[in-house]
Structure 1
Amino acid sequence: MKYTYLLINIFVILFPLALSFDKKVFFFKKWKFVAPAILITGAVFLVWDLLFTQLNIWSFNPGYIVGIYLWGLPLEEMLFFLTVPYACIFIYECLNAYFPKNILGKFSFALSNLILGFCVAVLFFAYHRWYVLINFTFLFFVLGYVEYINQKFRFMYKFYRMYLVSLVPFYIVNGFLTSIPVVLYNNKENLGVRVGTIPLEDHFYLMALLLMNIYLFEFFKSRGERKPIIV
């Protein structure tokens, strides 16, 4: 059905959007921080997406999209960079509001180092594959910056909790996208390892996408919520 990918996008954002007015989270009041984070990150990933489409690293099944293209990308793919980050930032804020205690605070730095080491190892053995090269290089630099250079606000322990929770809808949504399939992958450009029908790289692609969104969200929020100095 040509509306499949569009319906998946609607499903992703439907409940987070409807619940954005929850009185404990008041997520709608943070839209002014959410919007620039999503738009800036989306612009970066759209360039990435366009490059991958042109290089035939992945493609889109015309039987499951409405057929509207912008800059060579299906409309639904562009919406993906709005709906998924919005839903996951919403999850992030809900977890922080309802479950302020977070045991990952003790382990987040070690976990980041483990992921950075994994990025280096994968790049060493498979740097010649485009999806591997760009995906893990990007994640390495974004995660390295957040953990080792950014000192203004620390949020990785909250990020990892959100990421783990987000894997549940990720497996549902990406499971549909890769099993139908709506998105087709060129296995010559990835590791060829799949979790069900989902390429292993997609897990780290999601991590990079969400990490950039959350960093920018926290950045704009910290600036917006800074109390003015009264002289």
Structure 2
Amino acid sequence: MNTYVVITLAIIAGPFLLSFDKRVGFHRHWLQLGISMVPVSATYLLWDVLVTEQGHWSFNPTYAGSWKLFGLPLGEWLFFLVVPYACIFILEVVRAYFPKRTYSDIGRVRTYAGVLLVLLFATGYLFRDQSYTLLALLATSVWLALTLIAQPGLLGDSHSLWFFLLSIIAFLVVNGILTGLPVVLYNPEAIWGVRIASIPLEDLFYNISLLGLYLFSYETVGNLLRRKGTR
């Protein structure tokens, strides 16, 4: 078993073992999670396959192994299964143990988010020659636009904010390992070159967009299931 697979299994071990905690009861959300993760994971896996083929990044066989499917090692495929599980588990833990506070001025939230959306698009255009930079900023813009249109309340929800904060901290730890070993190797022509320790800054935007879209999809599916009475 290679290092990347061990890392991905370690990510899910704790959340899975604690899924049956009586207060959180995460196992009761498995249907909602399973449905919601499919479109997001499929989209990001397609992105992964295409940009790996184009040389935006590659995987070090010393840590990721030599077996690949569509250019991606087993650990990368597992990544898009364990990450949504672990991060949505964090969300449900926050909901179970902490009171919800909602920022009441949704108009101001929309304004701030709209300004951020414009800045993301503008920055992406300015750095369009760095392929990963452009795609990471566009992905973040897509998440923000979808949330603004369909679920703006998520942007002013304390549970959502704690979800992002705790998940990003976890991502920085895992990404630090993946880029520090390194498991993942980046093409310097596809990125800014600015790093948080060993982590390219683009990874932060990538992670925010990934987390945001998993959250958006999870909440959307949850609303649909509640309307149908299957939850």
TM over 0.5: yes
- Structure 1 residue 224: Cα displacement: 1.1
Q: CA deviation at 1:113?
A: 3.5
The residue identity in structure 2 corresponding to 1:160 is L
CA contact (8 A) 2:56 2:131 kept: yes
1:222/1:54 Cα in 2 relative to 1: closer, same or farther (>3 Å)? same
Asked if residue 222 in structure 1 is aligned to residue 211 in structure 2, the reply is no
Matched with 1:137 is 138
Note the aligned Cα RMSD (angstroms).
2.0
**Mean alpha-carbon deviation: is it higher for 132-141 or for 196-205?**
132-141
Gapped runs of 5+ residues in structure 1? none
**Match in the other structure for 2:70:** 71
What are the Cα deviations for residues 50-100 of structure 1, in whole angstroms up to 9, with x where unaligned? 111011100000001232211221111011011111100110111112112
CA distance in 2, matches of 1:108, 1:90: 26
Question: Could you tell me which residue of structure 2 aligns to residue 30 of structure 1?
Answer: 29
Q: Is 1:201 matched with 2:202?
A: yes
Whether 1:95 and 2:94 are equivalent positions in the alignment is yes
Partner of 1:128: 129
User: C-alpha separation between the residues in 2 aligned to 1:80 and 1:180?
Assistant: 17
Residues 109 and 14 of structure 1, relative CA distance in 2, 3 Å threshold: farther
Question: How far apart, CA to CA, are the structure 2 residues paired with 1:126 and 1:57?
Answer: 15
What amino acid maps onto 1:120 in structure 2? F
Letter in 1 for 2:72: L
Uncovered stretches (5+) of structure 2, i.e. residues with no partner:
none
Inter-CA distance 96–114: structure 2 relative to 1 (3 Å threshold)? farther
CA distance in 2, matches of 1:171, 1:74: 21
Residues 110 and 9 of structure 1, relative CA distance in 2, 3 Å threshold: farther
SS in 2 for 1:59: strand
Among all aligned residue pairs of Structure 1 and Structure 2, give the percentage whose two residues are the same amino acid. 38
Match of residue 177 from structure 1: 178
SS of aligned partner of 1:135: helix
Compute the displacement of 1:133 (Å): 1.5
TM-score scaled by length of structure 2: 0.90
Q: Which residue of 1 aligns with 2:81?
A: 82
Determine if contact 1:119/1:136 at 8 Å carries over to the other structure.
yes
Alpha-carbon spacing, 1:41–1:116, altered in 2? closer, same or farther (3 Å): same
| CA displacement at 1:103 relative to structure 2 | 6.2
Deviations 1:97-138 (A, max 9, x none): 211233666675455335324312321320121111212112
Q: Is the Cα contact below 8 Å between 1:57 and 1:130 reproduced in 2?
A: yes
AA aligned to 1:140 is S
Q: 1:197 to 1:104 in 2, by over 3 A?
A: farther
Alpha-carbon distance, 1:159 to partner: 2.6
- Residue 7 of structure 1: how far off its partner (Å): 0.8
TM-score, normalization by structure 1: 0.90
In 1, Cα distance between equivalents of 2:117 and 2:65: 39
8 A contact 2:128–2:134 mirrored in 1: yes
1:12 aligns with 2:11: yes
Specify the alignment match of 2:190 in structure 1: 189
